[in-house]
Structure 1
Amino acid sequence: MITKPKLEAPFRYKHNTSSFAHYWSAGAGVELLHKLDKNLDLKEAEAYIPLLFKSDDLADKLVEEVHLKFGFAAGHRMLIDYLENRTLAQYVRFIFDDFFAKIDLEPNWVDWDLLAVGQRLCQRGGLTSLIVLRDYCLMGGYESAAINKPLIYTGALEKGAVRRLSDTVEFWVQITKPGNIHYRKEGFKQIVRTRIMHALSRKHIQKKTDWDESSWGKPLNTWDMLATHLGFTQVFLVGLRKMGLEPTKEEVAGLFHFWKYVSHLLGVPLELLADNEEEAIEQLYYWTMTQREGDADSKSLAHALQEEPIHAFYPKTALMRKMMREIHLFYNHYLLGDYSCSLLGLSKTTIGRLAVANIWRNRKHEKLIVEGADRQIYIDAGALEQENVRKLYEKFNRQAPRGS
């Protein structure tokens, strides 16, 4: 249960009047609100304020005892050695034993068959799933000044958008493979590594920078982690539908169940995680409508993502990389709308409109599935598309220099 706040709201908490307010009054949010059988009152959002000052104590304790004591590289090797059941010093093994013992790795509430349905929906979208994640969920998140502040404080602009996207694609492909998020499988390792990186980033920001909790809450706090969860579920669903996919009721239920388990492993309290669209829409409304509008950092991050194709190492020619930028800009405007893109300072595009062909393709495939085509054919094809993108990032971009 969410309890009423006992803490004063930080500077970041305000009723949004531009970016997200437009989403709910004139954008995709209008249709979402129609799915609810009640009106939402922003006074209810105040119950979430304490989550801005909470974070993942379990992971914080682990990095204090391992990574901050032995160094990041050594701590990372120890984690991998533990997950691959290699020999470790007894003291270190005890620390990891204690960490994993406090996580319910096989909850009795998990329906593994339903979870796999959600994974297959993520795969079925193929390139479209990755486009929605990049050009809608990620870019749209930059409309909040607050949730992106940890990226600025950890030097994300200097490290570059190419590396961040490469890591995101690796994470996505590994966790969406059915059976791959069980204990010690590769998807599970990706989830745990991500959780540890969040804790390390939080500790770095708190110890090494002038981060002000009275302004921004804790870095990578629990409410922002819940918002990230909503990005992978409710916002992702809106994007898929806009791109021409029509998930079934079972696929939607599977998506929420899949991400409930993933976010549970990432350290988000179970009682916060929505089981369905109605709950998620309400949570998304309260988070977005209490976000301070984007600022100069937001525009800098948006510009870096806009220019990411130019600095990537694939396609091989500069002309084709410029074309990729225009295609992504088309999707930014198509998915987010011109109003949001203007706030983020994103360029307009004409030639990128050629990408509409992908939306037509999706609609054609959905029609064929409705008419009786084998859904598994499209799941397999989509999974292969995503794996090919993962390999391209791995081959061309993992050695990208800083700032690319």
Structure 2
Amino acid sequence: MDAKHTPHMADHVLTLLTAGDPLADAVVAELDHYGPRAQRALDAGLRRGLPSLGQQPPAAVAALLKQLEATPSWMDPLMLHRGDVVSLSVPPMWFGLCSITSALAHSYASPATARLLAQAGSPADMAAHRLAETGVWARQTIRPGGLLRGRPGYLATVEVRLAHARMRATSLTDWDSGARGLLVGQLDMARTWLGFTLIASQALEAVGIDITPEEERSLYRYWSYVAHLLGLDESLHQDVVDHAGARRLRDLLDATTPAPDENSTALTAAMIDAQAHAMAGAPGAVLSEEQLRHLIDSVLRRAFGEEWTDRLGIPGVPAATDLMALISQLNRQAQYWQTYSPASSREARRALKGPAPELKSAVLPCDASCRRNAGAARPGAWAA
């Protein structure tokens, strides 16, 4: 997204305020009209491809499958077999704590999305479910081969796309076609996409996990294909090849998005509580729920900046427990030595395939009971 195209892009973004996803919207209408027959065709087509449906598949299902199976001209076929190598290099605990929480918070910052989600149930009741669901989808999406036709990441991504279409269909009767735009439309989907690229990277950078310019470009190439599967308008992502382009897109979206409201703050707070609770209860955990909540708050404040985190109701972290500078330094030192030589890089990759690393009690203050638990605990995976 070249800077000289920004004025034109700003006008184009405004035209997308009321844009949905015609292919997915038509499939939802077709499923409602034809019922099980269309659902069976959709399921079979997603797993085995459009040719497996024979001569006369349901029209909307066929059109969606044709778009999904079209290979974008810019895509490297080997990329899907490798997976999102940049995200895969992040230790699982930090991927969950930084990438997932920041991406969800970025989505919740849209009051239209937050209002729609809040109507589905109380934030506290749905927070853990949405957190786990998003974590599973993200991990399926980044795995080697995960986005190949019929594989878990491919199926889950299309499921997310159709869920967005279902939400649009069920909310249209309540939609005021005024300034707020279409619920869960193109611009909200673009916010979600930026959450797992730019915003997640900013959160990881806050804890000292940096990527090179080459890795940055690799990240956006991979997630451009995710955008293709999600039905995101190509004009929104095709020229976003690095963080600089992503920031320009984010600024354009922010200019068309009202400030977070009470639904945004409630959903964000519930999500942070659910993440802290899950991680504190995971095998091998050495931090209390309160300490983890402070850590997540600190990460999000650095990822979003003070103005936006204040709007989202994310509190400041007490100075006594804010050791982000130390955490960043330790992670950067670890990253340096892991990539110091080919041998150390191989060893680091082997380590990433095993259990997720603990966050040692020395990193953040820990009371006596926490230290006793740490000594008795065995290492294990952190929940997302």
Mapping 1:126-145, distance limit 5 Å: 126=91, 127-145=93-111
Take 1:64 and 1:198, find their aligned partners in 2: how far apart are those partners?
13
1:66 is displaced (CA, Å) by 1.3
What residue is the counterpart of 2:20 in the other structure?
Answer: 55
1:214 is displaced (CA, Å) by 0.9
Mapping 1:216-295, distance limit 5 Å: 216-273=180-237, 274-295=240-261
What residue is the counterpart of 1:335 in the other structure?
Answer: 303
Tell me if 1:213 matches 2:183. no
What residue is the counterpart of 2:262 in the other structure?
Answer: 296
Unaligned runs of 5+ in 2: 358-379
> CA separation of 1:119/1:41 partners in 2, compared to 1, >3 Å: closer, same or farther?
closer
Q: Percent identity of the aligned residues? A: 23
How many pairs does the alignment contain? 353
1:173 is displaced (CA, Å) by 0.9
> CA separation of 1:48/1:183 partners in 2, compared to 1, >3 Å: closer, same or farther?
same
Asked whether the equivalents of residues 118 and 253 of structure 1 are also in contact (C-alpha less than 8 Å), the reply is: no
1:334 is displaced (CA, Å) by 3.8
What residue is the counterpart of 1:83 in the other structure?
Answer: 46
Asked whether the equivalents of residues 105 and 265 of structure 1 are also in contact (C-alpha less than 8 Å), the reply is: no
Partner-residue secondary structure (3-state), 1:293: coil
TM, length-normalised to structure 2:
0.77
Deviations 1:98-127 (A, max 9, x none): 420233443332113456667111011122
Deviations 1:269-307 (A, max 9, x none): 223212333332221221123321111112211221232
TM, length-normalised to structure 1:
0.74
Deviations 1:187-242 (A, max 9, x none): 111111111111111111114xx221213211111122222222222222333323
Take 2:330 and 2:148, find their aligned partners in 1: how far apart are those partners?
34
Asked whether the equivalents of residues 192 and 265 of structure 1 are also in contact (C-alpha less than 8 Å), the reply is: yes
Asked whether the equivalents of residues 174 and 186 of structure 1 are also in contact (C-alpha less than 8 Å), the reply is: yes
Take 1:68 and 1:154, find their aligned partners in 2: how far apart are those partners?
24
> CA separation of 1:54/1:383 partners in 2, compared to 1, >3 Å: closer, same or farther?
farther
What residue is the counterpart of 1:199 in the other structure?
Answer: 165
Mapping 1:24-63, distance limit 5 Å: 45-63=10-28
Tell me if 1:172 matches 2:142. no
What residue is the counterpart of 1:368 in the other structure?
Answer: 337
Moved more, 366-375 or 171-180: 366-375
Asked whether the equivalents of residues 117 and 254 of structure 1 are also in contact (C-alpha less than 8 Å), the reply is: no
Take 2:200 and 2:279, find their aligned partners in 1: how far apart are those partners?
27
What residue is the counterpart of 2:77 in the other structure?
Answer: 112
Q: CA RMSD in A?
A: 3.7
Unaligned runs of 5+ in 1: 2-35, 394-404
Q: Greater relative contact order: 1 or 2 (C-alpha under 8 angstroms, separation 6 or more)?
A: 1
AA paired with 1:214?
G
AA paired with 2:186?
T
Take 1:139 and 1:180, find their aligned partners in 2: how far apart are those partners?
25
AA paired with 1:327?
L
AA paired with 2:127?
A
